[in-house]
A and B are shown apart, each in its own frame.
Chain A
Amino acid sequence: MKLEELITPAMIQLKVPLYTREAAIQAGAALLMADGRTVAGYAEAIEANLSRFGPYFVIAPGVAMPHAPSSGIVKAAGVSVLTLKTPIHFGHEHNDPVSLVLTLAAPDGKAHMAAMGCLAQRLSQPGMIAQLTAATTKETILNLLTKEN
């Protein structure tokens, strides 16, 4: 699986006015479901994961990557991208507040792992998070995440 298959323009929304972490999780999961990456129930699965382990999926300053085990709900790997109009507190000790929500659907098995690795690689580039957060078009987000630099 390639990185550009993980994210499509329909799975990106910019400067979204959301004000709670629950609303952000719902919105991120809804984009994955609308694209057929999951069936219903993924937002609830993420919230169960959250209440069990806390907001560990706030992976870096300003960046949340909500996800849950596949459990038959995830049909195909995908990442939806939400940038928030105003940052939201997820309750993470070090990495709050969150401006970028990358909701991840990962099926069982290893097919998506290479693409995930590429994504991690992109995200760790210096300045990448700031550029994604500031992006004003979906094309900018897609270019930053999927195109060769």
Chain B
Amino acid sequence: MLKLVTVCGAGVGSSVMEKMFAEEILADHQIDGTVEAADISSVAPELYDGVITTSDFAALLHTDTPIIRLDNLLDKEAMEKQILALAKGAQA
């Protein structure tokens, strides 16, 4: 099962939108997984298989967990490609 977390500054705005998109992408591709939304201050990246966030926050996260970086949070296709690549890697 793929465990993802979306991260923003407050944990109530952009990360919630990203969570919705990520959940849809998992469902569209029948990938077994979960998505949580978190704020940068409290997130523990090591608990997840992947982190979805903006480049700004990616620079603040010091982790070995793969990070999906998005500059345009409304670009669902860019997220989809990266989630699929991550899911493929997780299976291998």
Contacts and interface: CB of A to CB of B under 8 A. Distances in A.
Interface string B14-30: 10110111000000000
Of the four ranges (under 10, 10 to 19, 20 to 34, 35 or more), the interface on chain B belongs to 20 to 34
Interface string B45-67: 00000000011110000000000
B91 interface: no
A121 B56 contact: no
10 contacts: A52-B9, A56-B54, A56-B56, A59-B74, A60-B74, A65-B14, A67-B10, A69-B12, A106-B12, A124-B21
Interface of B: 8-14, 16-17, 19-21, 39-40, 54-57, 71-76
Given A67-B14, A69-B39, 20 more contacts: A49-B9, A53-B40, A53-B56, A53-B57, A56-B56, A59-B73, A60-B72, A60-B75, A61-B72, A67-B13, A68-B10, A70-B12, A93-B55, A93-B71, A94-B72, A95-B71, A117-B20, A119-B17, A121-B20, A129-B74
